[in-house]
Structure formats: C-alpha cells, structure tokens
Amino acid sequence: MTNQYQKVLLAVDFHEDNASVVKTAKELSELYSADLHVVHVREPLGLSCAVDGLSWVDEAYALEERVHKENKKKMTELGNKLGLAEESCYMLEGRPASVILDLSAKGGFDLIVLGTHGQHGLQLLLGCTANSVLHGSGCDVLAVRIRD
C-alpha cells in the first residue's frame, strides 16, 4: 500500500456521536502510517446583547469559559486515547469551516476527516461545516455519516 496520505486532520465537535468519525480517522492514519492530528474549533457565542437594560455579556463570557474548559478536557482525553502528542491537538476559535481549511492548508494535510449528519433542504442551502470544508479544501475530505 502506498502512502497516499501522510498527514490526516480529524475535525471534531465533541458531540456524543463522534465515535465513528474518530475511529475512522484513527484506522485510516494507521492504514497509511500517517500522522494524525485533531482539531476542535470553538465558534464564539457572540451574545453581546441587552434586554430591558440588562446586559448578558458577562453571562455569555462565563458560559463560553465553561464550554472552553470542558472542551479542553475532552481534547486532552481524546488526544490521550489516540496516543497523540499535545502539539498534534489544536483548540482554535472562529468559524469552523474557515479555521479547518486554513489549518489544513498551512499544515500540509492531505486528508481531512469530519462528521456529517447529512444536511438537506434549507440546512444545506444555508451551509454546514462538512459541506463548506468539502467544497473549499485543496486536499481530500472524508465526511463520515453520523447516524441518528
């Protein structure tokens, strides 16, 4: 088997249904003897609004901080489970598709593995992360179907 893939980027969102996506990325990286990296992109809540003179900014920041800490813990656990070095695990912030595409291009990845729930109709028109990554990537993308 040729080493078609040398660097695999696994994009995760830490939902409970990611197990098949993680398993697929791990198996492919082993099959091709490729370096496996994992990324989680946190999209800021951006809830800087006020209602009846009450600001929700502090509550939004507190919620974001709790989510960030929980996701960091999950990333550490996932990295340990996959046997990855800390520098192969990325916790980034921004619009997920854009950040994943940017990391992939700058990092020289040849395969991105991510999950999809199979958006259709209006959801597909509005765009989803998997669809945006698939159509914007300069490398192969494997969208693993997550069954409901």
> What domains does the chain contain, in order, with CATH numbers?
7-43+72-145 (3.40.50.620)
pLDDT on residue 6: 96
Query: What pLDDT score does 148 carry?
Result: 64
Q: How far apart are CA 125 and CA 119, in angstroms?
A: 9
Is residue 56 within 8 Å of 26, Cβ to Cβ? no
Q: What is the pLDDT of residue 120?
A: 59
Q: Give, for all 148 residues of the chain, the pLDDT tens digit.
A: 456 899 999 999 888 788 999 999 999 999 999 999 999 998 876 544 445 555 666 777 788 889 889 999 999 999 999 999 999 999 999 999 999 999 999 999 999 999 987 665 545 544 588 889 999 999 999 999 887 6
Distances (CA, A) of 64 to 48, 61, 67, 110: 12, 5, 5, 32
